[in-house]
Amino acid sequence: YQQKLFWSLGTYMVRSKISIEKYINLIGVAYSAMILLPFISATFKAYRFCSPQEAKHIIGEAIREELFFSKLLKIHQIKKNLSRIPYLRQYANVEDLAS
């Protein structure tokens, strides 16, 4: 067994041998995906024969950009929805008066 401090939770947890092996297998799959992705996706074709660290960095940057723009779109949509609330209230008041 291994005792490890998880910084995000701030608590100590005990991990079993099986969970450690599963974690190592997951890391292996992720590493293999980093190696294979440039050969599968045309977007990353230019990075086919570069080092795995470079491919990991570039793919990580692409993921960060995607998450950033996705969050910006969500914020924009929330602002757009909030800006419509006064019109909805006005419409609801008109409907109440019509009844």
Query: What is the Cα–Cα distance from 27 to 33, expressed in whole angstroms?
Result: 10
Cβ 34 vs Cβ 56: under 8 Å? yes
In the three-class reduction of DSSP (H, G, I as helix; E, B as strand; rest coil), residue 2 is classed as strand
Residue 10 has a pLDDT of 54
Query: What is the Cα–Cα distance from 57 to 80, expressed in whole angstroms?
Result: 34
pLDDT in tens, 30-71: 888 888 888 888 888 888 888 878 877 888 888 888 888 888
Residue 61 has a pLDDT of 87
pLDDT surpassing 70 at residue 5: no
Q: Within 13 Å of residue 89, how many CA atoms lie on the same side as its CB? A: 6
pLDDT surpassing 70 at residue 11: no
Residue 27 has a pLDDT of 84
pTM recorded for the entire structure? 0.46
Q: Within 13 Å of residue 58, how many CA atoms lie on the same side as its CB? A: 16
pLDDT band at 95 (very low <50, low <70, confident <90, very high): low
pLDDT band at 1 (very low <50, low <70, confident <90, very high): very low
Tell me how crowded residue 15 is: count the other CB atoms within 10 A of its CB.
Answer: 14
pLDDT surpassing 50 at residue 2: no
| Four-CA torsion 18, 20, 22, 24, nearest 10 degrees | -150
